[in-house]
């Protein structure tokens, strides 16, 4: 039995253990690991997520008991201080000695701190470990502004994180451009513009001379005589390999650090390897995780299989993550290959810059830069890496989203193509795993193959491969509702309508099995509401709690009240009523993002009384609780605004009143702007209307929320009547055909033929259903009733609004606290 000791329990050190244990069990190789950090290895690549999640568990590569279960002896919080090569042992700062047969150095690197006067002042940090982040977070709570020294990949990521903490944030870069190693001047300028619009302040060509302040940082002084007042500084100027022990025990290191290794990752001692960010291969430190994983693989191959795999260097392509703007840089990004030819696409308005570099003969892709839209990154990288032939017009590769050039170009991808570079997984590996394991969703593919579990950049491609493979296997991926209904939502829509089914129980008895569940009940409730426009409270126990009680449930079990305020227009009298009701029932009041007012913290049993008062004053339900039309926002438009082209408020009010109460697969939002300055943000809505000189432009399928997407132009320069007609058709078509809980944007993304198909159905009536769609909508409009009015006037429905069945009192466990003079629910 051999004994392997690993120094360093970072990403690469951990990956080494994982790979080794998958090849050799503990009766073959004993494995002992020392890590300086107090917790087991975590995912440094996603370190910035710690700012929002604050959970080191989420970042953990494997929990502590993984090491136990796999017979890996892990000493955390223990620094190896020297190596005794003669006696083949390492010594730790506790004085603990450990003998080895083979030693693997995976000590990574630390942040480079340039020798600027004053770097030792309070308020100066580096960005490398969870501990660093904890320090930054606690210091950042008490200050207002921050700067990042270094405008590279990590510096920008750090800058975004600081900005998200609410600090005024500056990026200071020595070079004349951002990400100098990955971007050219144009790319940098485009990126700068976008980052500045996000709120980062960027200073290029700045050489920092001194960090000034009395004990703590107060200002930075630059060589050009300028100053910047700032409360904290995060240094991100590069990395220094942690080769300190290696140097003292006589291993060869490079002039600028790093333990020199050959293509077997061996140092000048045949029993000592170095891998990851500490290893200097071919004069190069790879500051990325994928090459480190490759190195781990090569060493495992030698130790466990007696193999002779070689490390051959690695691609340094990168995609910037998390910062609100796509940036990708791959291969020969700067076009430094002799006689390389360059194709550039630039769209200043949208902040997009794309560049690809082709070989002199124009046949091969050498590399490129993507700023503002990196959706083609994977495809381009594959073309480069697999040396695929370029299409006859290579500019097609980077021109906007014209059709689906992306997936076409992927068709000929060979099975050997590497898809996940972190885990070194090929397309063939994924396809085989899907076929052999009968995998059906991305989650399964990820857990079986590990593809997409590293930096995650390849996830969309993994999903595409899954879909293509399933299709090629003849598997129709039918999205049936749940175990109780073997039908898709669209099939159920047709069944309910054609067979005239009005209750959930009837549908379950005729077309379902079992007793239903929390998935199919609300989905069917929504379908029936969309088709029959019946009062949802008639079948109250199949509704999600919000629809059941016609109010949004809050922490602690209270509910909120949101009356409709069409177009966001409200009279002073109505405002006063809202204020009076809020005061009487002690409700927290807030202006919502949807241009209306939300009153929170109502007790269940008070809801009918509150609504009774509101209805008396002329309010109606705002359906904030339903998968239904929410708001149609408006800008003030031509009535008041000096730029306004048409009366956007009147039109918004008309549209909102037309579709109020309309239930759909997911919520629906709209907006109307009076000119292209777009103050109503119509292009982020499910439908958006913008005034033009000649009429209105109608945009559809936009989304804010988790995955923002701009709406696309369905029809331009149309009159109000046509606009309503197209909207009627569009909305019913969506209601009929979308999967449950898919917003319009997701629906369109999945639609075969995309926007062109949608246009042909809605405008050219290629399916011949437009009359039907309009009639269905007219029925919905004609049968609209305010559901709160129905409840308020029906004592039987009213009686359902009580917490206890055997007592009149409310829930005595509800607790509130106070904030800025209003109540809020006690924390849970």
Ligand X SMILES: Cc1cc2nc3c(=O)[nH]c(=O)nc-3n(C[C@H](O)[C@H](O)[C@H](O)COP(=O)(O)OP(=O)(O)OC[C@H]3O[C@@H](n4cnc5c(N)ncnc54)[C@H](O)[C@@H]3O)c2cc1C
Tokens of 428: 């063939």
* Piece of the chain touching ligand SRM by CB under 6 A; list 393-401, 410-418, 702-710, 795-803: 702-710
The interface partner of residue 405, options being ligand SF4, ligand SRM, ligand X, none and the CB cut-off 5 to 8 Å by kind, is none
* Piece of the chain touching ligand SF4 by CB under 6 A; list 393-401, 550-558, 615-623, 643-651: 643-651
Given 421, 631, 673, 744, the residue binding ligand SRM (CB under 6 A):
631
Strands 352-358 and 341-347: antiparallel
Given 41, 105, 126, 562, the residue binding ligand SRM (CB under 6 A):
562
* Piece of the chain touching ligand SRM by CB under 6 A; list 195-203, 602-610, 700-708, 756-764: 700-708
Longest Cα pair distance anywhere in the chain, in angstroms? Answer: 92
| CA-closest candidate to residue 330, choices 380, 290, 382, 367 | 367
The answer to whether 206 touches 221, Cβ cutoff 8 Å, is no
The interface partner of residue 636, options being other proteins, ligand SRM, ligand SF4, none and the CB cut-off 5 to 8 Å by kind, is ligand SF4
Told to check if 594 binds ligand SRM by CB under 6 A, we report: yes
Q: Would you give the DSSP letter of residue 122?
A: B
Q: Identify which of residues 81 and 554 has a Cβ nearer to ligand SRM in the complex.
A: 554
- Intra-chain end-to-end CA distance of the chain, in Å: 53
The interface partner of residue 107, options being other proteins, ligand X, ligand SF4, none and the CB cut-off 5 to 8 Å by kind, is ligand X
Compute the distance between CA of residue 534 and CA of residue 508 in angstroms, rounded to an integer.
Answer: 18
Please, which contacts does 512-519 make with residues 24 or more away whose CB atoms are closer than 8 Å? 512/484, 512/485, 513/483, 513/484, 514/483, 514/484, 515/484, 516/484, 516/542, 517/482, 517/483, 517/484, 518/544, 519/481, 519/482, 519/740
Q: Which residues of 250-281 are buried (b: 16+ CB within 10 A; e: fewer)?
A: ebebeeebbbbbeeebbbebeebbbbbbbbbb
Least CB distance to ligand X at residue 11 (A) = 4
C-alpha distances in angstroms, 324 versus 7, 150, 282, 371?
36, 18, 35, 11
Q: Identify which of residues 159 and 674 has a Cβ nearer to ligand SF4 in the complex.
A: 674
The answer to whether 49 touches 137, Cβ cutoff 8 Å, is no
Q: Identify which of residues 217 and 274 has a Cβ nearer to ligand X in the complex.
A: 274
Least CB distance to other proteins at residue 750 (A) = 24
Told to check if 791 binds ligand X by CB under 6 A, we report: no
Given 199, 443, 579, 593, the residue binding ligand SRM (CB under 6 A):
593
Question: Binding to ligand SRM (CB under 6 A): which residues in 609-628?
Answer: 624
Size of the site for ligand X (CB under 6 A): 36
Phi first, then psi: what are they for 193, rounded to 5°? -60, -45
Q: Identify which of residues 319 and 633 has a Cβ nearer to ligand X in the complex.
A: 319
* Piece of the chain touching ligand X by CB under 6 A; list 42-50, 408-416, 542-550, 802-810: 42-50
Least CB distance to other proteins at residue 828 (A) = 5
Told to check if 400 binds ligand SRM by CB under 6 A, we report: no
The answer to whether 416 touches 383, Cβ cutoff 8 Å, is no
Compute the distance between CA of residue 659 and CA of residue 652 in angstroms, rounded to an integer.
Answer: 11
Residue with tokens 């209270």: 558
Compute the distance between CA of residue 125 and CA of residue 136 in angstroms, rounded to an integer.
Answer: 7
Compute the distance between CA of residue 97 and CA of residue 80 in angstroms, rounded to an integer.
Answer: 9
Told to check if 688 binds ligand SF4 by CB under 6 A, we report: no
The interface partner of residue 245, options being other proteins, ligand SRM, ligand X, none and the CB cut-off 5 to 8 Å by kind, is ligand X
The answer to whether 755 touches 709, Cβ cutoff 8 Å, is no
Given 455, 523, 607, 714, the residue binding ligand X (CB under 6 A):
455
Detail the DSSP E strand segments found in 269-379. Answer: 272-274, 279-281, 318-320, 327-331, 341-347, 352-358, 365-371
Angle at 79 between CA 42 and CA 274, to 5 degrees: 70
Told to check if 598 binds ligand SRM by CB under 6 A, we report: yes
The answer to whether 134 touches 51, Cβ cutoff 8 Å, is no
Q: Identify which of residues 223 and 509 has a Cβ nearer to other proteins in the complex.
A: 509
Residue with tokens 């910037």: 320
Least CB distance to ligand SRM at residue 560 (A) = 4
Compute the distance between CA of residue 294 and CA of residue 421 in angstroms, rounded to an integer.
Answer: 9
Question: Residue 713: in which H helix or E strand, if any?
Answer: strand 712-718
Told to check if 240 binds ligand SRM by CB under 6 A, we report: no
Compute the distance between CA of residue 435 and CA of residue 466 in angstroms, rounded to an integer.
Answer: 10
The interface partner of residue 593, options being ligand SRM, other proteins, ligand SF4, none and the CB cut-off 5 to 8 Å by kind, is ligand SRM
Q: Identify which of residues 357 and 560 has a Cβ nearer to ligand SRM in the complex.
A: 560
Least CB distance to ligand SRM at residue 322 (A) = 18
User: What is the C-alpha R_g of the chain?
Assistant: 31
Q: Identify which of residues 152 and 644 has a Cβ nearer to ligand X in the complex.
A: 152
Told to check if 514 binds other proteins by CB under 8 A, we report: yes
Given 382, 703, 742, 744, the residue binding ligand SRM (CB under 6 A):
703
Q: Identify which of residues 537 and 744 has a Cβ nearer to other proteins in the complex.
A: 537
Q: Identify which of residues 476 and 706 has a Cβ nearer to ligand SRM in the complex.
A: 706
Which residues are at the interface with other proteins (CB under 8 A)? 483-484, 505, 514-518, 520-522, 540-545, 548-549, 553, 555-557, 800, 803-807, 811-815, 828
Which residues are at the interface with ligand SF4 (CB under 6 A)? 635-637, 641, 643-644, 648, 673-675, 677-679
Which residues are at the interface with ligand X (CB under 6 A)? 7-13, 34-37, 44-45, 47-48, 79-80, 106-109, 127-128, 154, 157, 242, 245, 276-277, 287-290, 292, 321, 455
């Amino acid at each position: 039995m051999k004994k392997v000791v690993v120094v360093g329990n970072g990403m690469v050190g951990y990956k080494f253990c994982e790979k080794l244990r998958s090849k050799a069990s503990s009766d073959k190789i004993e494995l002992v690991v020392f890590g300086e950090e107090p917790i087991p290895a975590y995912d440094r690549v996603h370190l910035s997520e710690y700012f929002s999640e604050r959970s080191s568990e989420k970042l953990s590569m494997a929990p502590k008991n993984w090491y136990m279960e796999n017979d890996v002896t892990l000493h955390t919080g223990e620094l190896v201080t020297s190596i005794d090569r003669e006696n083949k042992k390492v010594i730790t700062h506790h004085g603990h000695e450990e003998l080895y047969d083979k030693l693997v150095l995976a000590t990574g690197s630390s942040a480079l701190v340039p020798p600027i006067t004053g770097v030792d002042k309070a308020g100066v940090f580096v960005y490398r470990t969870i501990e660093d982040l904890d320090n930054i977070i606690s210091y950042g709570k008490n200050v207002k502004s921050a700067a990042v020294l270094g405008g590279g990949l990590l510096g920008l990521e750090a800058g975004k994180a600081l900005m998200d903490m609410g600090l005024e944030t500056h990026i200071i870069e020595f070079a004349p451009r951002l990400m100098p190693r990955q971007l050219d001047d144009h790319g940098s300028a485009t990126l700068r513009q976008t980052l500045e619009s996000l709120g980062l302040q960027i200073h290029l060509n700045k050489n920092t001379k001194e960090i000034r302040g009395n004990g703590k940082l107060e200002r930075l002084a630059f060589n050009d005589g300028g100053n910047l007042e700032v409360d904290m500084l995060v240094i991100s100027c590069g990395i220094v390999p942690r080769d300190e022990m290696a140097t003292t025990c006589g291993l060869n290191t490079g002039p600028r650090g790093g333990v020199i290794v050959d293509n077997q990752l061996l140092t000048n001692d045949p029993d000592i390897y170095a891998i990851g960010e500490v290893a200097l291969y071919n004069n190069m430190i790879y500051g990325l995780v994928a090459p480190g994983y490759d190195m781990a693989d090569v060493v495992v191959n030698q130790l466990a299989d007696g193999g002779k795999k070689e490390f051959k260097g690695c691609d340094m392509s990168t995609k910037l993550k998390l910062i609100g703007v796509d940036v990708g840089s791959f291969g020969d990004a700067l076009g430094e290959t002799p006689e390389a030819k360059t194709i550039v696409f630039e769209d200043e308005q949208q902040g997009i810059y794309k560049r690809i570099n082709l070989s002199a003969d124009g046949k091969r892709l050498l590399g490129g830069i993507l700023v503002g839209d990196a959706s083609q990154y994977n495809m381009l990288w594959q073309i480069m890496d697999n040396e695929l032939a370029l299409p006859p017009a290579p500019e097609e590769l980077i021109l906007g989203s014209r059709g689906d050039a992306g997936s076409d170009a992927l068709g000929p991808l060979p099975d050997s193509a590497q898809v996940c570079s972190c885990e070194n997984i090929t397309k063939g590996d994924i396809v085989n795993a899907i076929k052999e394991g009968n995998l059906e969703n991305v989650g399964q593919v990820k857990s079986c193959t590990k593809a997409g579990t590293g930096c995650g950049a390849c996830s969309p491609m993994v999903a595409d491969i899954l879909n293509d493979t399933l299709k090629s296997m003849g598997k129709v991926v039918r999205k049936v509702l749940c175990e109780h209904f073997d039908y898709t939502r669209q099939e159920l829509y047709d069944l309910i309508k054609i067979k005239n089914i009005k209750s959930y129980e009837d549908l379950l008895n005729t077309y379902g099995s079992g007793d239903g569940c929390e998935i199919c009940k609300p989905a069917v409730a929504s379908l029936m509401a969309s088709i029959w426009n019946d009062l949802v409270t008639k079948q109250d126990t199949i509704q999600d709690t919000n629809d059941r009680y016609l109010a949004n449930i809050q922490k602690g079990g209270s509910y909120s009240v949101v009356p409709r305020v069409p177009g966001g227009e409200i009279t002073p009298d109505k405002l006063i009523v809202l204020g009076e009701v809020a005061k009487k029932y002690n409700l927290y009041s807030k202006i919502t993002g949807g241009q209306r007012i939300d009153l929170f913290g109502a007790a269940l049993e008070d809801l009918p009384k509150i609504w009774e008062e509101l209805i008396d004053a002329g309010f109606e339900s705002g359906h904030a609780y339903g998968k239904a039309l929410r708001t149609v926002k408006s800008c003030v438009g031509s009535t008041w605004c000096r730029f306004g082209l048409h009366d956007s408020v009147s039109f918004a009010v008309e549209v909102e009143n037309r579709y109020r109460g309309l239930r759909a697969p997911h919520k629906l939002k709209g907006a109307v702007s009076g000119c292209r300055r777009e103050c109503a943000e119509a292009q982020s809505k499910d439908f958006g209307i913008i005034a033009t000189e000649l009429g209105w432009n109608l945009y559809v399928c936009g989304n804010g929320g988790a995955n923002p997407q701009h709406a696309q132009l369905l029809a331009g320069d149309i009159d109000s009547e046509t606009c309503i007609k197209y909207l009627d058709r569009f909305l019913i078509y969506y209601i009929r055909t979308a999967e449950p809980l898919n917003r319009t944007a997701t629906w369109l993304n999945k639609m075969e033929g995309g926007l062109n198909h949608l246009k042909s159905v809605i405008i050219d009536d290629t399916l011949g259903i437009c009359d039907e769609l309009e009639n269905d909508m007219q029925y919905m409009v004609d049968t609209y009733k305010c559901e709160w009015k129905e409840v308020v006037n029906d004592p039987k429905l009213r009686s359902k609004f009580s917490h206890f069945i055997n007592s009149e009192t409310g829930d005595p466990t509800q607790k509130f606290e106070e904030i800025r003079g209003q109540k809020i629910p006690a924390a849970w």
